[in-house]
Amino acid sequence: MYSVELSQKADAFLDKLDNHIRERLEERLKKLGEQPIPSNSKFIGRDNNDKIFRCRIGDYRALYKVKENEKVVLVAKIDLRPKVYQK
């Protein structure tokens, strides 16, 4: 079992959303704790030894790292599809 942590940026984005959208995203992100690499996630690269994935949640995308050694899923960024990949 992994713990799911949100970056400040991801947490701030969720706070701006309507309740029903936020609840949907949070529910999906919680499931990453049980299965950090679901079948609908895509591997997009590495940062040091951590694998970086993208998870599609409707029109939104979540970029997250799986820290195998620490058993942590760190959600780095959540946004609409065209914006999530911008630096």
- Phi/psi of residue 4, nearest 5 degrees: -105, 125
- Taking the C-alpha atoms of residue 18 and residue 85, their distance in angstroms, rounded to an integer, is 22
Total tally of structural domains belonging to the chain: 1
Q: Which pLDDT belongs to residue 8?
A: 96
Binned at pLDDT 50, 70 and 90, residue 87 comes out as low
Residue-range definition of the domain harbouring residue 50: 3-84
* CATH number, position 13: 3.30.2310.20
Q: Span 70-78, mean pLDDT?
A: 95
Q: Specify the pTM.
A: 0.89
- Per-residue pLDDT tens for 20-72? 999 999 999 999 999 999 998 999 999 888 899 999 999 999 999 999 889 99
